[in-house]
Structure 1
Amino acid sequence: MRGALGFLSRLPVGHTEQAWDAFVGTPAAFPLAGYVVGGLVALPFLAAGLLPAPVVTAAYLGSVVLVTGVNHADGLADLGDAAVVHGDPAERRDVMRDTTVGVGAVLALGTVLLALALAALAAAELPPLVAIALVVSAEVGAKLAMATLACIGRPSHEGFGSTVVDGSGPRQLLASLAVAVPAAVVAVPATAAAVLTGPLVALAISGWANRRLGGIGGDAFGAANELARVAALHVGVATWSLFDMPLGDWGVLAWTLS
């Protein structure tokens, strides 16, 4: 858990070799750390209904950067550059190692940031406990996407991807799914849909990376986190709205405790 938080957040924990070794061999630590990260970035939604939705949204975006840093966004940028390159997998991987920021990176980052802001804006219009539940479930779903990649992925080269993938398999994926269950059942079906979006995003990234990059690397994990977060939050908000859940704050709390 400490190693996962050290990698997935800017919290001052988990930076020892022992914590790192334990983390890379335990995919379930990804979604487990998602609860902590999700709880922290969801704090601005305590003010939903008290402050204007755009203010809450801006505070949420700021908390995501403050808590998680830019490491995973860098992976998304690299994958964006690789996506617009015409060439074989080796050429695409070379572009990903280039420190120059290309149009693909700008487009990927800009689109995801805009989509995340719009999803957060919609969540800020919901009852605070509902919004918090959806934000936490989206974060757990994003980390579950990374765990899914670790269990089903095929590494393209030596590096973080191969280190995490080696030794992981279906049993570890089941453990990761089990860890994510509490986040999925808080306000079903919306939170369940948000959590399950993570593995679906991972499957899509894994398939694309196998065809275009020859497998997954560290950048694919970062991109999976960023893409799954925004997709999960949109899916969760949409599901809640479509089913028009009448519970409200106290209803969600009572349902959860029961």
Structure 2
Amino acid sequence: MIRLWLAFGFLTRLPVPHVSGTPGDVAAAIRCYPLVGMVVGAIVAGAMWAASIASHDPWITALAGLGAWVAVTGALHLDGLGDVADGIGAAHGDRTRLLAVMRDPHAGSFAVVTIALQLIAKLVLLHALAGDGRVALVPFATRIAPLCWARWIAPLGTGLGAQVATAARPRDIAGWAAVLAAACVVAPALLATPLLVLAYAAWCRRRLGGVNGDAHGAGIELLETALLAVLACA
């Protein structure tokens, strides 16, 4: 339970019990990320359902879902996406500069533009999926990905990426993959998840040289948008 509350406390702004865990508990909390994703998905879908009942307007429904998504996660992953965008945009191939820019707490023009485009993309896709309960499965599916990236990609620095590098066990990935396979019965579009996870892993190795907390957050955001697009096209 300590690891579960740590996962909720880190990934969401939900009021959960304050617990103190060891560094091992903090790292092992990554095993609970998909469960947190289930709750995030339920909140997003619930907000969209309530807005559709109140307004019958798909744009208002989409905005309610997006607002709930950002609020419940505290824009955590958007922050990571912005940091990665700034790093890639300003590094010009210099890996040392890339890491320095990603650690800078200030948001540059690349971050602002990327986050804006991400929010617009999600809004448009949620509009296309208004009334589609499969949206609730997207946050769950995407939060399996960090377990894979932590296991498969070398960490950058000594931050979150390094802490969770050994915490994701093969049996954790296999167990959540089985749950994802069951979810594919309801939403076959989720079959795209493994391909997206592998594609982002390859990109991280080639462009970043590894993975850290910002890269995990950026990956979650990009996978969420990609899966929403696949659902909308399915």
TM-score, normalisation: structure 1: 0.80
Correspondence for 1:59 among 55, 59, 64: 64
- Decide which moves more: 154-163 or 2-11: 2-11
8 Å contact from structure 2 (residues 150, 211) kept in 1:
no
Correspondence for 1:217 among 198, 205, 212: 212
How far did residue 6 of structure 1 move?
1.4
CA distance in 1, matches of 2:178, 2:60: 35
Q: Does 1:69 align with 2:74?
A: yes
Superposition pairs of residues 167-186 of structure 1, within 5 angstroms: 167-185=167-185
CA distance in 2, matches of 1:79, 1:171: 30
Partner of 1:256: none
CA distance in 2, matches of 1:139, 1:20: 26
Counterparts in 2 of 1:193 and 1:148: CA distance versus 1, 3 Å: farther
Correspondence for 1:231 among 212, 226, 231: 226
> Residue 148 of structure 2 aligns to a residue in which SS?
helix
CA distance in 1, matches of 2:72, 2:28: 24
Partner of 1:11: 14
Counterparts in 2 of 1:13 and 1:218: CA distance versus 1, 3 Å: same
How far does the alpha carbon of each residue in 1:64-108 deviate from its partner, in whole angstroms, 9 at most, with x for none?
Answer: 122111221110001111222203222101111122322221222
Q: Does 1:91 align with 2:97?
A: yes
Partner of 2:36: 33
CA distance in 2, matches of 1:34, 1:184: 16
Identity %: 35
How far did residue 26 of structure 1 move?
5.2
Counterparts in 2 of 1:202 and 1:14: CA distance versus 1, 3 Å: farther
CA distance in 1, matches of 2:195, 2:88: 19
8 Å contact from structure 1 (residues 10, 66) kept in 2:
yes
CA distance in 1, matches of 2:208, 2:49: 42
CA distance in 1, matches of 2:19, 2:174: 27
CA distance in 1, matches of 2:19, 2:77: 20
How far did residue 182 of structure 1 move?
4.1
- Decide which moves more: 8-17 or 75-84: 8-17
8 Å contact from structure 2 (residues 147, 168) kept in 1:
no
CA distance in 1, matches of 2:196, 2:232: 17
CA distance in 2, matches of 1:2, 1:180: 22
Counterparts in 2 of 1:144 and 1:168: CA distance versus 1, 3 Å: closer
How far does the alpha carbon of each residue in 1:92-140 deviate from its partner, in whole angstroms, 9 at most, with x for none?
Answer: 011111223222212221221111011100011xxx3xx12x2111111
How far did residue 15 of structure 1 move?
4.1
8 Å contact from structure 2 (residues 156, 212) kept in 1:
yes
TM-score, normalisation: structure 2: 0.88
User: What root-mean-square deviation, in Å, do the aligned CA atoms of Structure 1 and Structure 2 show?
Assistant: 2.1
How far did residue 225 of structure 1 move?
1.4
How far did residue 28 of structure 1 move?
3.6
CA distance in 2, matches of 1:98, 1:168: 28
CA distance in 2, matches of 1:90, 1:176: 35
CA distance in 2, matches of 1:18, 1:212: 34
8 Å contact from structure 2 (residues 141, 193) kept in 1:
yes
Q: Does 1:104 align with 2:110?
A: yes
Partner of 2:85: 80
8 Å contact from structure 1 (residues 26, 172) kept in 2:
no
